[in-house]
């Protein structure tokens, strides 16, 4: 990639084309950053009435309310993270073995299995969550934390499985055979040979599974039935009534996403399987 990019510097480019490129890039970045800007400004504004372009008075009110332990925002954020962590753990536990089967083996019915796993990624959550709600009412899982965790598995588990299937497709089982023939047991082989080889893939997949769960809105709204509060639900309730709080909550809501991107950006070239599922966040 670096080689291909470096080669292009040798091509002669006229000055106006270079300027045009920078105008284009600046416009693109401005468009991509624009929606985030008012969120930051609102979060520190006190008085910001039309037609003032910037707030006439600033205050830390929204931020002190957000971090005030009596206001439950911290609790809700923690709740959201806890749900996402449990969902991610289940996705790893079930998705890594399934990814191994899909990445390493050819078998009858493989196409059918791949379809089955791809379907929840393509079919929108709303189309299935109404039916799931009916099932969960009968099973006593509606309006409960376990119910919300289960329904978050619908988008995250297939995603994790596909990422791991991509990882295992480029994985060489000969190392495992060598370890076994040198006397390592099954568990030791998995721990010392398999895990280190697939670890980067697991980490990237897990971070994105976390973000997918962290961002869920309608699945939590319907299955949680107001009994399970998460950050996106809280943010929504403040959008119209208090833009300052909504701005501060948005910033909190973005933080893990930015963190994940910082940690994983070098794995995020478009040909990696990790990108495939994040159109859904």
User: 68 or 110, CB closer to other proteins?
Assistant: 110
Reduced to 3 states (helix: H, G, I; strand: E, B; else coil), residue 47 is strand
Contacts by residues 189-198 (CB-CB < 8 Å, ≥ 24 positions apart): 197/171, 198/96, 198/164, 198/167, 198/168, 198/171
In the window 7-66, what residues touch other proteins (CB under 8 A)?
7-9, 11, 13, 21, 24-25, 28-29, 31-39, 41-42, 50-53
For other proteins, the binding residue among 170, 190, 192, 200 (CB under 8 A) is 170
* C-beta of residue 148 within 8 angstroms of C-beta of residue 228: yes
Minimum CB–partner distance for residue 68 and other proteins (Å): 21
Binding piece for other proteins, criterion CB under 8 A, among 57-65, 71-79, 127-135, 198-206: 127-135
Neighbour count for residue 37 (Cβ, 10 Å) = 10
Reduced to 3 states (helix: H, G, I; strand: E, B; else coil), residue 251 is helix
Distance CA 29, CA 23 (A): 10
Binding piece for other proteins, criterion CB under 8 A, among 66-74, 80-88, 95-103, 191-199: 95-103
Q: Does 149 sit near other proteins (CB under 8 A)?
A: no
Minimum CB–partner distance for residue 44 and other proteins (Å): 14
For other proteins, the binding residue among 62, 66, 77, 153 (CB under 8 A) is 153
Distance CA 108, CA 222 (A): 38
Residues touching other proteins, count (CB under 8 A): 115
For other proteins, the binding residue among 127, 182, 187, 241 (CB under 8 A) is 127
Enter the tokens of residue 133: 């709600």
In the window 183-212, what residues touch other proteins (CB under 8 A)?
208, 211
Minimum CB–partner distance for residue 70 and other proteins (Å): 25
Neighbour count for residue 85 (Cβ, 10 Å) = 15
């Amino acid at each position: 990639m670096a080689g291909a990019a470096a080669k292009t510097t040798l091509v002669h480019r006229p000055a106006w084309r270079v300027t045009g490129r920078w105008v284009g890039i600046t416009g693109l970045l401005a468009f991509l950053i624009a929606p985030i800007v008012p969120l930051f400004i609102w979060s520190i504004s006190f008085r910001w009435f039309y037609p003032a372009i910037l707030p006439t008075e600033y205050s830390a009110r929204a931020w002190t309310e957000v971090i005030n332990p009596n206001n439950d925002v911290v609790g809700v954020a923690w709740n959201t993270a806890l749900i996402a962590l449990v969902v991610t753990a289940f996705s790893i536990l079930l998705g890594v073995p399934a990814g191994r089967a899909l990445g390493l083996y050819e078998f009858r019915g493989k196409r059918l299995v791949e379809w089955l796993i791809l379907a929840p990624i393509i079919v929108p959550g709303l189309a299935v969550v109404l039916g799931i709600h009916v099932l969960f009412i009968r099973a006593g899982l509606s309006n409960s934390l376990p119910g919300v965790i289960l329904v978050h598995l619908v988008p995250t588990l297939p995603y994790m499985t596909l990422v791991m299937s991509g990882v295992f497709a480029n994985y060489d089982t000969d190392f495992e055979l060598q370890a076994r023939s040198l006397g390592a047991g099954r568990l030791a082989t998995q721990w010392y040979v398999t895990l280190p080889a697939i670890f980067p893939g697991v980490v990237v997949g897990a971070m994105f599974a976390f973000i997918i769960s962290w961002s869920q809105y309608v699945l939590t709204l319907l299955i949680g039935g107001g009994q399970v509060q998460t950050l996106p639900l809280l943010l929504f309730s403040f959008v119209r009534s208090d833009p300052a709080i909504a701005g501060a909550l948005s910033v909190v809501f973005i933080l893990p996403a930015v963190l994940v991107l910082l940690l994983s950006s070098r794995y995020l070239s478009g040909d990696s399987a990790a990108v495939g599922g994040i159109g859904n966040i």
